[in-house]
């Protein structure tokens, strides 16, 4: 059982602008009794703090996950470009985590392609054995079809690694428009050999679009974390989405992800991950999909050196 989407980090990986915006939004809902913004921000930092990933590995092993793809985050350009962990530091953190975990994690660093040193960071990352792909987060404020992304796409395609992107829901201070799926048609046409993983598969705003974008391009994949948020009241809709995805894409292009983020009280979410996996598994069985195929496809994506890229570098 491979989890293709997990997060763990020292809180410093995320910029203050993010915490402040989320704290203000939470306070505005009245769902917190904490009225002091500073204290609310401190609590949020605690809830995402897991600097040695001890919590993350324990939560995932308790969820019976055998291997997890650790994703980096580069939100450093949200505000004045001064806070959040620089991608170079993030790369060192992620590679160390893979080494310390004795193979439990693979790492996908994130980079904002608008950074002046984005190309150097990506080239450095792809030369490391701990790294299996690169993640972009367009809702930071750029279109995935913007030419600023092309040098990153080129390096990832040449290396045979995969490009993972955030698609689907996101709110202020991010830009929902760039969570849409349509621009990936242009990306596929410009980079037909690219292995493209649509993180969250449009969850849960644009599932049909995500399937349609993936359908015609044999190396585009759906990673379906985020859809699990429908479990409490819209489980049937979730099962229907998975069923259509498998019917259209077959067993090898739908990847399981939990989007688990470790920190203060994250172990409380272990039963929810197990429930999500049970739904994923039983829906696959109902659709006649072999979990061995699902797993084999995920494993093959992680072993990109077998596609000849890394050795050719």
Please report how close the Cβ of residue 286 comes to Zn ion at its closest, in angstroms.
27
Whichever of 112 and 259 has its CB closer to Zn ion, that residue is 259
Please report how close the Cβ of residue 189 comes to Zn ion at its closest, in angstroms.
27
> Which residue's C-beta sits nearest to Zn ion?
259
Please report how close the Cβ of residue 166 comes to Zn ion at its closest, in angstroms.
7
Q: For Zn ion, what does the binding mask look like between residues 204 and 243, x meaning CB under 5 A?
A: ----------------------------------------
Please report how close the Cβ of residue 26 comes to Zn ion at its closest, in angstroms.
19
Please report how close the Cβ of residue 7 comes to Zn ion at its closest, in angstroms.
5
Q: What whole-number distance in Å separates Cα of residue 127 and Cα of residue 123?
A: 6
- Contact region for Zn ion (CB under 5 A) — 12-20, 102-110, 184-192, 258-266? 258-266
Whichever of 57 and 259 has its CB closer to Zn ion, that residue is 259
Per CB under 5 A, does 259 bind Zn ion?
A: yes
Whichever of 91 and 110 has its CB closer to Zn ion, that residue is 110
Residue 226, by phi and psi: left (phi above 0), alpha (psi -120 to 50) or beta? Answer: left
CA 75-124-5 angle, 5° bins = 50
Q: What whole-number distance in Å separates Cα of residue 281 and Cα of residue 254?
A: 12
Q: What whole-number distance in Å separates Cα of residue 216 and Cα of residue 185?
A: 10
- Contact region for Zn ion (CB under 5 A) — 14-22, 101-109, 252-260, 303-311? 252-260
Per CB under 5 A, does 74 bind Zn ion?
A: no
* # binding residues, Zn ion (CB under 5 A): 1
Q: In the chain, at which residue ranges do the beta strands (DSSP E only) sit?
A: 2-7, 67-71, 105-108, 133-136, 162-166, 195-199, 220-223, 254-255, 260-261
Please give the full DSSP string across 145-194, using - where no structure is assigned.
TSGGGHHHHHHHHHHT-EEEEE-S---TTS-GGGG-STHHHHHHHH-TT-
Q: What whole-number distance in Å separates Cα of residue 194 and Cα of residue 60?
A: 29
Binding site for Zn ion (CB under 5 A): 259
């Amino acid at each position: 059982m491979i989890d293709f989407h997990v997060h763990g980090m020292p809180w410093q990986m995320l910029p203050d602008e993010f915490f402040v915006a989320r704290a203000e939004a939470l306070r505005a809902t009245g769902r917190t009794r904490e009225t002091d913004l500073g204290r609310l921000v401190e609590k949020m930092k605690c809830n995402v703090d897991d600097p040695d990933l001890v919590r993350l590995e324990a939560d995932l092993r308790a969820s019976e996950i055998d291997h997890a793809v650790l994703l980096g985050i580069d939100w450093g350009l949200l505000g004045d470009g001064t806070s959040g962990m620089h991608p170079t530091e993030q790369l060192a953190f992620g590679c160390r985590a893979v080494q310390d975990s004795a193979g439990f994690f693979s790492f996908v660093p994130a980079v904002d392609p608008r950074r002046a040193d984005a190309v150097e960071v990506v080239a450095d990352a792809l030369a490391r054995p701990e790294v299996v792909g690169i993640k972009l987060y367009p809702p930071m404020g750029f279109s995935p079809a913007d030419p600023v992304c092309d040098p990153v796409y080129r390096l990832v395609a040449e290396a045979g690694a995969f490009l993972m992107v955030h698609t689907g829901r996101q709110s202020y201070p991010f830009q929902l428009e760039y969570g849409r799926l349509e621009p990936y048609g242009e990306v596929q046409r410009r980079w037909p050999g690219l292995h493209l993983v649509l993180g969250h598969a449009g969850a849960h705003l644009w599932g049909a679009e995500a399937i349609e974008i993936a359908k015609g391009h044999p190396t585009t994949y759906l990673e379906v974390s985020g859809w699990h948020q429908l479990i409490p009241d819209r489980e049937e809709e979730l099962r229907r989405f998975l069923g259509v995805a498998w019917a259209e894409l077959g067993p090898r292009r739908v990847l399981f992800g939990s989007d688990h983020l470790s920190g203060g009280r994250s172990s409380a979410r272990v039963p929810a991950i197990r429930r999500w996996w049970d739904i994923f598994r039983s829906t696959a069985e109902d659709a006649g999909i072999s979990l061995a195929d699902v797993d084999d496809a995920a494993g093959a994506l992680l072993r990109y050196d077998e596609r000849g890229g890394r050795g050719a570098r």
